[in-house]
Amino acid sequence: MKRHKQESRYLRVAALAYKVTCAVLPLYSHPNSPKIYTQPQLVAGVLLGVYLNLSWRDLEAWWLTSDRVCDLLELSQVPDHTPF
């Protein structure tokens, strides 16, 4: 049986959110920001959390198990539940 390679709906939501946020947001809110995460990465992550109906803590745990989403959002490390 041949498996169809199908993209997850979560990856599609994350990709769309990241594409839109990259188009409309500056990378950083301030020239002296720590530059660990970009605004598009964080906002796309929050939008994905809203889509999944997850708290920030639960979203952090979800990211820890989802390498593909982290790769798509270009995250070198998973944000903990206290970036805001």
Annotated domain spans of the chain? 9-72
CA 60 to chain centroid, in Å, comes to: 10
- pLDDT for the residue 3: 52
Q: Write out the chain's pLDDT in tens, 84 residues.
A: 455 466 688 889 999 999 999 999 999 988 888 888 899 998 998 899 999 999 888 888 888 888 888 888 888 888 776 654
pLDDT of the residue at 61: 85
- Nearest residue to 72 via CA among 27, 10, 11: 11
CA 39 to CA 52: how far, in whole Å? 20
pTM, two decimals, is 0.77
List the alpha helices (DSSP H) in the chain. Answer: 9-24, 39-52, 56-64, 67-72
Task: Give the pLDDT score at 1.
Answer: 47
